Amino acid sequence: MSMHLYAFGSICRGEIDAGSDIDLLACLSEPNQSIDPNKFSIYTYERIRQLWHEGNPFSWHLHLESNLIYSSDGRNFLNDLQEPSKYTNATIDCNKFQKLFIESHTSLMKSSNSMIFNLSCMFLATRNFATCFSLGMGRPIFSRLSPLLIDRKLPIERDIFDILVRARILSTRGYGNPISEVEVRAARSAAPVVIQWMDDCLSKEVFCE
């Protein structure tokens, strides 16, 4: 069985803090029960080649921010694939993430049930929007802080954004202190700014599509 293991994401950017996890990728020729799906993103070689062919944002993320940690054949599979196809889906992807943000915000405004999950989805939508937007503009930023780092920066304070980041870590890893009512209100008040920022990004920029 052929296997290539990679580290990717924050650890490759040196962005390490208590909330960071280590993103690991396993590329396999066939299923392997010894690879824990809770620790690794597991892909077949065929699926990775497909993502490369599509120019999927994840292929660009791996191309730009991954490091080989094990190879069963001495080769570097991802490096050998060279550059992924051009990313041409920025408008569709950004619209999809804006929709996710609006749905999550609507659910948050409707009731106090599952507030942290909804805040977590608002983070996911905002981060993915910024990442796809920056990739579409030809200057990709994959950091979880991408909305605050791209050229057309999200105009909210870092401490408000950090509430959304904490919600995401609680939801995906079960780690961290719960978010208080005051913090939820602060994050909720920033939502219209995020929606307006997404509208502005989509109306004023022309992607390299």
- Check if the beta carbon of residue 135 is closer than 8 Å to that of residue 57: yes
Q: Tell me the C-alpha distance between 116 and 127, whole Å.
A: 16
- Rule CB under 8 A: say whether 156 interacts with another protein: no
- Rule CB under 8 A: say whether 172 interacts with another protein: yes
Q: Which is nearer to another protein, 43 or 60 (CB)?
A: 43
Strands (E), the chain: 3-8, 23-28, 40-44, 66-71
- Check if the beta carbon of residue 120 is closer than 8 Å to that of residue 170: yes
Q: Tell me the C-alpha distance between 12 and 64, whole Å.
A: 10
Considering only CA atoms, give the Rg of the chain. 18
Site for another protein in 28-87 (CB under 8 A): 37-38, 41-43, 47, 50
Q: What is the DSSP letter of 180?
A: P
Among 35, 107, 160, 186, contact with another protein (rule: CB under 8 A): 107
Among 34, 174, 182, 206, contact with another protein (rule: CB under 8 A): 174
Among 3, 24, 170, 187, contact with another protein (rule: CB under 8 A): 170
List residues binding another protein (CB under 8 A). Answer: 37-38, 41-43, 47, 50, 96, 99-100, 103-104, 107, 113-114, 116-118, 120-121, 124, 167, 170-175, 178
